[in-house]
Amino acid sequence: MSELIPEPYRVLARKYRPQGFDTLIGQDAMVKTLANAIAGDRLAHAFLLTGVRGVGKTSTARLLAKSLNCIGPDGQGGATISPCNVCEPCVAISESRYIDVIEMDAASRTGVDDVREIIEAARYAAVSARYKIYIIDEVHMLSRNAFNALLKTLEEPPSHVKFIFATTEIQKVPVTVLSRCQRFDLKRIPTELLASHFGGITAKEGAEIEDEALQLIARAAEGSVRDGLSILDQALAHGHGKVIAQDVRDMLGLSDRSRTRELLAALIGGDGKAALDNLAAQYALGTSPDALFEALLELVHGVTRAQVTGTPDAAMSEEERTAVSDWAGSLGAPVLHRLWQLLLKGLSEIRSAPMPMQAAEMALLRIIHASTLPDPGDLVRRLLAEPRGEGSAPPAPTELRPPPASAPSAFKAAPRDFKAFVKMFEDGHESVLETILHDRCQLLRYAPPTIELNAGDAPADFASRLGACLKEWTGERWTVTLTTSPGTPSLKAQAEAEAAAKRARVMADPAVRAVFEVFPDAELVDYEIGDPSETESSRSAQ
């Protein structure tokens, strides 16, 4: 008696291909539509499935073919959204050997002759099935002539024929074809759902896997079930039935997330030596500089999302969630956006530089240097509010720290005049409101807690936002009235008029006029007007 030949190993992506719509994950909207269409006998003659790789387009096409041709265990059943997987049509379609379900790869059969074969064969009834079904994968690869040849049959196919198209590049499919199909956009599978799915498959395989390893694999899959199962297959082989996070990082070439957090902390703290040492250590372990910057970008993005939503990503480890929450609470939005832009610029330089490691070091040092620079908005406001004479000390560096979220509680009394009123919004870091008040608003009446303004084309919620800030800062409910009547020129217009008047006084000075007569092409770059009580010789003009 001959020995039994062992069954060859099947990769996880094939072994766990969905055999029913109930096991197709992440596409609930499409499944509901198809179920209602089958139950109500409202089946389209052509379906177009689109989405990124590995989200289930081919699996859905085969499931739909089974649903339309299933006859049930007793051979008497009709079309159903829950194929039995027992009858001959279901089994044969699952094994890709059913004569009335024809699968064609448009990537290798792109010509009009290939489509002509389909058109000719479509005229004949199915051999044994309820419907003759044509599944054309990567349909966008068909030539223009092939698409044109298919149009007539696609618009008015025989009643026994159904077409199912699948594509990853929907924009390459002619609109004439799109208009003749019922389109389904298959979504990327969420990371949490992928992790849960992979965890269940690992258990069925009798293996163990760390939660963090599951999250790493799910993230690396980028919404694709097939990609994730391929990575899981490799991880199971690597770990001999036990998968740990560090093995997955090594396998995927990912940086250690704890080291990435340490590097971000060094950048925020301005510690150049610690940052360079961290980079060198990760590089020695095999992490490429661009992968390290991608990890930093992902971390900064996670902190920013946590700041906006109030909660870190559930897919993060407990340690990472704690660190992200702390940063989200201590760093301001401008700081995070500046970090993002600097890291993005550094990543671009690394990818184009002849020496990526040196480019990475310089990019990290640039970020640390930027942490000591003042915020541009604060610097401009400081320079405008505190003009310095010659010999004054420069402003002290501003560290990479967030500004206060709102004005200090010291604002209890109403400002004495409109200029002080506007300054209150500057101090309260309401820069948008302060700019509108300073640059555009004409004052008609200021009698706290009442103010009447002509705000020009200010946003519709301008008055309500002013009132909310004033209530918080002064403890009083203000009446803010917006009108179209002209009022006192804006503070910006007043400042410009004052500057123009001063310049005119300088230009009218006899000494200045004499200089321009001798040097007609000269320009007045700067000037300083002394106190009128000073002597003429103490005044200077440049």
Pairing of strands 208-209, 242-243: parallel
Q: Which domains does the chain have, with CATH numbers?
A: 12-185 (3.40.50.300), 191-252 (1.10.8.60), 257-370 (1.20.272.10), 418-491 (3.30.300)
Cα–Cα distance between 224 and 222 in angstroms, integer? 6
Instruction: Quickly list H helices, 12-169.
Output: 12-15, 28-39, 57-69, 88-94, 112-122, 144-155
Helix or strand or coil: residue 254?
A: coil
Pairing of strands 450-454, 442-447: antiparallel
Cα–Cα distance between 474 and 104 in angstroms, integer? 73
Closest by alpha carbon to 426, among 443, 442, 407?
Answer: 407
Helix or strand or coil: residue 372?
A: coil
Report the pLDDT value the prediction gives residue 534, as an integer from 0 to 100: 44
Taking residues 451-464, report their average pLDDT. 87
pLDDT digits (tens, 9 = 90+) for 389-440: 544 555 444 444 444 444 444 656 788 899 999 999 988 888 889 999 999 9
What's the whole-model pTM score?
Answer: 0.57
Report the pLDDT value the prediction gives residue 9, as an integer from 0 to 100: 79
Q: Kindly report the three-state secondary structure assignment for every residue of 284-331.
A: HCCCCHHHHHHHHHHHHHHHHHHHHHCCCCCCCCHHHHHHHHHHHHHC
pLDDT at 248 over 60: yes
Pairing of strands 182-185, 161-167: unpaired
Structure tokens at 265: 């902390």
Structure tokens at 153: 């049959």
Count Cβ atoms below 10 Å from residue 247 Cβ, excluding itself.
16
Integer-rounded Cα radius of gyration of the chain:
35
- Residues 147 and 174: beta-carbon distance below 8 Å: yes
Report the pLDDT value the prediction gives residue 196, as an integer from 0 to 100: 92
pLDDT digits (tens, 9 = 90+) for 308-341: 988 877 667 677 888 888 898 888 888 898 899 9
Structure tokens at 53: 């790789």
- Residues 218 and 228: beta-carbon distance below 8 Å: yes
What residues contact 136, with CB distance under 8 A and at least 6 apart? 104, 106, 142, 163, 164, 165, 166
Cα–Cα distance between 139 and 143 in angstroms, integer? 9
Phi, psi (degrees; rounded to nearest 5) at 341? -65, -40
Half-sphere exposure in the Cβ direction for 542 (13 Å, CA): 4
pLDDT digits (tens, 9 = 90+) for 102-131: 999 888 888 888 898 888 888 888 888 899
Phi, psi (degrees; rounded to nearest 5) at 163? -110, 135
